[in-house]
Structure 1
Amino acid sequence: MKKNIPAHKLFKLSDPVHFLAVGFGSGLIPKAPGTFGTLAAIPLLLLASYLPLYALIILTIAMAIFGIYVCDKAAADAGVHDHGAIVWDEIVGFFICMLGITISWQSILVGFLLFRFFDILKPWPIKWIDVRVRGGFGIMLDDVVAAFMALAIMHLIF
């Protein structure tokens, strides 16, 4: 089964779609690739945080829509639905989690922990989506829902 094949043999960083899908290589780290994918989102978010909120929202929506294609193609190429190395969904999820939040080391830390909490534990309906919705849309959707759950709590805290 392809799930047992090391990620670096399934994904090629020379392929632009794979490069994005595996979070610029962060998803190829064998242990906790989703966590490292979320960490890879931080410098991108710091750069994007200089945008006005409306532009950041547009960018995040574009990343999510584009992510459906990226995740779908990478999963199809690897022959594994939602392979752990595919972390573009975590990058987008972290962007969503931080929308409208003033960027500080404290907000980044809390956002990171909340998003990872929801993404790892997958409370309802995240787990239901993860199990039942397939393809690139499914790969993206469970993280988007986890991100909105984290975002709601972020707005209560910050």
Structure 2
Amino acid sequence: MTPSMLVATVGGVGRLRPAPGTWGSLVALPALLLGREAVLVLAVLVGAIGWVAVSAVLRGRPAEDPGWIVVDEVAGMLVALAALPPDAGWIGAAVAFALFRAFDIIKPWPVSWADGLHGATGVMLDDILAGAIAAALLLLFGFVLPGVL
């Protein structure tokens, strides 16, 4: 397995069935233990490294978005997790997970717009936007009902 394929599949997690995107999202959950700032830095790093890896994997077939590429789900889930308060715990992680997966599956605008882009940009950006929407809702929820998550 090439290094790009290893990154794109997150060490082979993308080959798990059923629902490889869900498995990829689950991989990110332990990062919550690192704290908000570290999770946000990790999201940026995974997004950048993921984009490079996906570009290499899709070389010559930019219109594809294979389900086994799950580094995008990891990056998007990390964006959502970065919005949780430091004491969120696993209930907060479960809410972040549910919101991210819902936006990733339903693909409201602008997620749907990004999903239509070709190449690594489309593959990565739709999930990062789904994570950003989930993060915005988590921040709003935390502002309106502090301490609940």
TM-score class, shorter-chain normalisation, is 0.7 to 0.9
Q: Unaligned 5+ residue runs, structure 2?
A: 143-149
Shift in alpha-carbon separation, 1:151–1:100, aligned structure 2, 3 A? closer
**Residue range with higher mean Cα deviation, 104-113 or 79-88:** 79-88
Cα distance, 1:54 vs structure 2:
3.9
* 1:124 is aligned to 2:143: no
1:65-85 deviation digits (Å, cap 9, x = unpaired): 121111121233888711000
CA contact (8 A) 2:42 2:78 kept: no
Q: Unaligned 5+ residue runs, structure 1?
A: 1-13
CA contact (8 A) 2:103 2:130 kept: yes
CA contact (8 A) 2:83 2:138 kept: no
Shift in alpha-carbon separation, 1:68–1:97, aligned structure 2, 3 A? same
1:63 to 46, 52, 63: 46
Runs of 4+ aligned residues of structure 1 deviating over 6 Å after TM superposition are 77-80
CA contact (8 A) 2:24 2:70 kept: yes
| Number of matched pairs | 140
- Counterpart CA distance in 2 for 1:150 and 1:100 is 8
Query: Partner residue of 1:27?
Result: 14
* 1:143 is aligned to 2:139: no
Give the % identical residues.
34
SS at match of 1:72: helix
Q: TM-score, normalized by length of structure 1?
A: 0.79
Q: Give the aligned CA root-mean-square deviation in angstroms.
A: 2.0
Cα distance, 1:55 vs structure 2:
4.1
- Counterpart CA distance in 1 for 2:108 and 2:57 is 26
1:112-157 deviation digits (Å, cap 9, x = unpaired): 00000000000112112211x1111111111111110000111122
